[in-house]
Structure 1
Amino acid sequence: MADERDDGEQRDEQVEAALASAGAAAGPAAGEHPGEPEEPQPEEGAPVEGEVPPGEEAAAGEPTQQVEEAAAALDDPAPQDDRAAQYLALAQRTQADFENFRRRATRERGEAEARGLGRLARELLPALDNLERALAAAEAQDDDFTRGVRIVQGELAAALRRAGIEAYTPKGEPFDPTVHEAMAQQPVEGAASGTVVEVYQPGYRLADTVLRPARVVVAA
């Protein structure tokens, strides 16, 4: 009987060992969730998901700061006002330069025209003098030729006046060497010294420019 009991206990132990081996091979023990992988544990010092490392956080903030500064510069009216003032000053200087150029060109054109007219008048004055001398010599005559010469002399003198050229005869005026040319000086009763007592040839001027001084006799 003792041997049968020993054999029975051995069989029980073998059954329990077989059941234990089968349970270990079948999977996790009761209370565990089969089929779910274990979550990897983060290594020490590694960044947690969703967090920005300190160095990257500073770098990420730089573009935002630059955008804000650019927007502030656009909103600031001071640079735009400075540019507008510069453009206005430039426009004013350009306009002033143009006005100066226009006035200078007008003045120079007028001076050139006056010089050309003066040269032409100086060439015509001898012819006018000859006509006046011819009329003086034929003063007593009244024929057709004399009348024709008088008409020509009158038309030439009128054309010079229309061009701004004026004749002047300074008899009785004080002698002025800037507009008179003394041909002789002689004592004249009743005339103050330095007075023009006779005009040999009338003078001509264009505005303030003397084309030919008057040739005169001055009292001594």
Structure 2
Amino acid sequence: MTPPENPEERDGPAFEFHDNRRIDPTTGQPREAADSSEAPEGTPEDPLAALDFEPEGVSPELDEAQRLAAERLEDLQRERASFTNYRNRSIRDQEAARARGVEDVLNALLPVLDDVDRARQAGELAGPFAAIAEKLDGALARFGVERFGVVGEEFDPTFHEALMHEESAEVETATIKHVIEPGYRIGERVVRAARVAVVGPAS
């Protein structure tokens, strides 16, 4: 049986180990950087030490890509603004068309509504006809139609049309004495002014 060889008797230089760790494994403290002149012979230099990671300039390809991205973003923002304007304009057009439709129907129904109102004032609207008149008023109210013009209300030429006028010492301002035909409006738009008889203060 051959005895194990002694490592010191092997041919060639003995293996040497150099601890180049920057943190001392015993104390856990960073070691002071050794001068390059004191580095043991044969210690390889850090291959990353001489590398510069700060780019000296932007490549033409990157500059062109950034320019194209800025143009595409501007185009997208412009298209989005155009679509928003189109949507808002469409909503306004739809609302205007709906209002015109309701106004056209109201103008067509005005003679019928006047007959119903006269029958109501004369006390001739009763029974099933009264119920039908109430349903008609409710249907118009759902579309924003409002009837106005009340006896005793102050006369306003913006909403009232005076067909008759008389004077009285009992009033201080022009007041509606009789409603000949009520007025109708849709929201803020007056479709027909109330036609009334007015009593005003004596001159």
TM-score in terms of structure 1 length: 0.59
1:136-160 residue CA offsets vs partner (Å, 9 max, x unmatched):
3344xxxxx8312211111111111
Is residue 212 of structure 1 aligned with residue 192 of structure 2?
yes
Q: Could you say which residue in structure 1 is the equivalent of 2:60?
A: 73
Is residue 136 of structure 1 aligned with residue 136 of structure 2?
no
Contact 1:192 1:219 (8 Å CA) reproduced: no
Is residue 193 of structure 1 aligned with residue 178 of structure 2?
no
Count of residues paired in the alignment: 143
Contact 1:184 1:216 (8 Å CA) reproduced: yes
Is residue 181 of structure 1 aligned with residue 168 of structure 2?
no
1:3-52 residue CA offsets vs partner (Å, 9 max, x unmatched):
xxxxxxxxxxxxxxxxxxxxxxxxxxxxxxxxxxxxxxxxxxxxxxxxxx
Letter matched to residue 60 of structure 2: A
Larger Rg: 1
1:109-129 residue CA offsets vs partner (Å, 9 max, x unmatched):
110110011110111121122
Alignment RMSD, CA only? 2.1
- Give distance in 2, aligned partners of 1:153 and 1:197: 25
Greater CA drift, 110-119 or 129-138: 129-138
Is residue 109 of structure 1 aligned with residue 94 of structure 2?
yes
Residue segments in structure 2 that go unaligned for 5+ positions in a row: 1-57
Distance 1:218-1:132 versus aligned 2 partners, 3 A rule: closer
Residue segments in structure 1 that go unaligned for 5+ positions in a row: 1-70, 140-144
Distance 1:195-1:137 versus aligned 2 partners, 3 A rule: closer
1:48-69 residue CA offsets vs partner (Å, 9 max, x unmatched):
xxxxxxxxxxxxxxxxxxxxxx
Percent identity over paired residues: 36
- Give distance in 1, aligned partners of 2:102 and 2:159: 19
- Give distance in 1, aligned partners of 2:148 and 2:119: 20
TM-score in terms of structure 2 length: 0.63
Q: How does 1:141-180 map to 2 (within 5 A)?
A: 146-180=126-160
Q: Could you say which residue in structure 2 is the equivalent of 1:123?
A: 108
- Give distance in 2, aligned partners of 1:99 and 1:114: 23
Contact 1:170 1:214 (8 Å CA) reproduced: no
1:141-190 residue CA offsets vs partner (Å, 9 max, x unmatched):
xxxx8312211111111111111101112444443222211111111333
Q: Could you say which residue in structure 1 is the equivalent of 2:18?
A: none
Q: Could you say which residue in structure 2 is the equivalent of 1:85?
A: 70
Distance 1:102-1:178 versus aligned 2 partners, 3 A rule: same
Q: Considering fraction of residues, name the structure with more helix.
A: 1
Letter matched to residue 73 of structure 1: P
Q: Could you say which residue in structure 2 is the equivalent of 1:6?
A: none
Runs of 4+ in structure 1 deviating by more than 4 angstroms, as ranges, are none
